[in-house]
Amino acid sequence: MSDHDAKADCVDNPSAEAKSPPPRMTISGLGAAGNRDLQAFDAYFAERLAKAYADDRSEWSLLETASVDTAWEMFLFELEKKIAGTDQHIPGLQILSVPKIADWNHARWGSYRKWLLANQLPRWGNTYQATQRSVADGYFTFISNLDVPLTNPVEQQKANEARKRLSDAQIEYDDKTIEMAMAWVEFDRAQQALPAHRRKTFDQWYAIRYAEQFGLLEQRLDLLRQDYSHWFNRAHGGNAVLADVLPRWSNDEYIREIEIEDNSGAKRKLRTYTISPDLGEWIEQSKRGEGSVWAFSLSKTSYRRHTEQTRMGAGGFYWGGFWAVRVGGSYDRYSVDTEYDHFSIAFRARNVGVFTIQADQWMKPTVIQAYKNGPWVPGGPIARGTTVLFGKDGVLNLLPTTVVVAFQPEVRARLKSEDYHYAKTTYRGGGSLWIGPFGFGANYTRTVEDVQFDDETQTVTAKNTTDMPQVIAVVNSVMPDFE
């Protein structure tokens, strides 16, 4: 099968008798177009992906496999047992399919990384992939579309007028967002002709072209939200569930203007979250040998959590094979043969931490359960059906609640001859290796010597000996019932 066929079919075939390297898909250009929480960029990504297929060159790498790598399903089953302590399925569990360092303890960028991680709405599926949409935006869509009858006609009229002013301002903001998104698409297409080091990131471009305009629009929205919040609170003062919903949302104590991580000096407003325990303290404890050692292994006979058995449903795994090696400037992703009689992958971590994500007081989760079925503002986007709140395509379908992090993970894998030699050959040429959610080698553990190959047993051993922990998975509450 050619590389083009592998991409077009998006199928990994681990059981094929490989006379050439295993079927694979190329993954490259893993940077995001920008850090704005904008739905418009989802369409942009889709357009770029379609172009990548047509041109047979992939800068973006959002590839969905038609067949699921068996090793992912085995890993999912074992990971659920470790987290839950039983064989019970965890509905909102998403495995990291692209290795990620847990780094929200950074001296300068820690708060930005933490709040961005907590606020990004994950894509629906069994592997974790952050979208450009946000939990906060989805929550505001929910509360601003509620149409609960008010008790005082005068205050009801004032609240309705305030909501109309806010709605008009939000439409203006959304229109400007679409204008900005399309302008970025046009600009980014044009700059592809430039050398890579001369191109601007989205945030650099945004700071020059649109930061001031959006700053003014956001200030206006903040004032109108406060006004609506005032009348909403007056009207619903006797309703224990609704009374403080908008005052919480509008409270500046839970909104921070923070510098974007691109050294451009641009800033953005983010809702605050708490992630506990403290990551820096946890790392120090791990270095002292404190904590919980995790270990489990996979073999030919291991149980699998089939994707059709999960809450996310079939087809929920993305990014292809369980293994990837760096080849040139991209990652070559492929499946290994789990039907090989001597196949085994053993995982071990010196410590595994379960970190809780908690939205600060700006969010009131009980209101979501209480009013998950409305009533909705007549003629509004939810009432019209143009905006979906929950389910696969919902704007508030998943709420990240837990991050699972591994300190100094180690993987030992015995592979079929073709898989072993392909991994060894390509790794030696690139210096980085992905095994499931873990990354090893020059890009992750500072040295290629952390990955060893034993030709006699066809065994690959990869170790992370640094103090940089890696994220294994994210657990979400599936909305609106917090499953």
| pLDDT tens figures, 306-335 | 777 777 775 545 556 888 887 666 777 788
Residue 272 CB partners (closer than 8 Å, separation 6+):
115, 254, 255, 256, 360, 362
Q: 258 in helix, strand or coil?
A: strand
The answer to whether residue 103 is domain-embedded is yes
**Residue 346 within any structural domain of the chain:** yes
Instruction: Give the rounded percent of residues in the chain with a pLDDT score beyond 90.
Output: 30
Mean pLDDT value across the chain: 78
Residues in CB range of 115: below 8 A, 6 or more apart? 256, 258, 270, 271, 272, 273
pTM: 0.72
- Residue 93: pLDDT band (50, 70, 90) is very high
Q: Which has the higher per-residue pLDDT, 22 or 228?
A: 228
- Answer whether residue 452 is part of any domain: yes
pLDDT at 409 over 80: yes
Exposure string over 379-389, b if 16+ CB within 10 A, otherwise e: ebbbeeeebeb
Q: For residue 329, what pLDDT is reported?
A: 65
Asked if 361 and 464 count as a contact pair (C-beta separation under 8 A), the reply is: no
- Residue 249 tokens read as 């949302």
CB 218 within 8 A of CB 347: no
Tokens of 143: 């509360």
Q: Is residue 285 one of the residues assigned to a domain?
A: yes
| CA–CA separation, 112 and 270 (whole Å) | 8
Residue 148 within a domain: no
In-domain check, residue 40: no
Task: For residues 229 and 235, give the distance between their C-alpha atoms in angstroms, rounded to a whole number.
Answer: 10
Domain count, the chain: 1
Inside any domain, residue 240: no
Domain that holds residue 340: 1-32+58-128+274-483
Q: Which residues of 391-408 are buried (b: 16+ CB within 10 A; e: fewer)?
A: eeebbbbbbbbbbbbbbb
Interhelix angle 153-191/135-144, nearest 10 degrees: 150
Average pLDDT (122-126) is 89
Residue 246 lies in a domain: no
Radius of gyration of the chain (CA): 24
- Percent of the chain at pLDDT above 70? 78
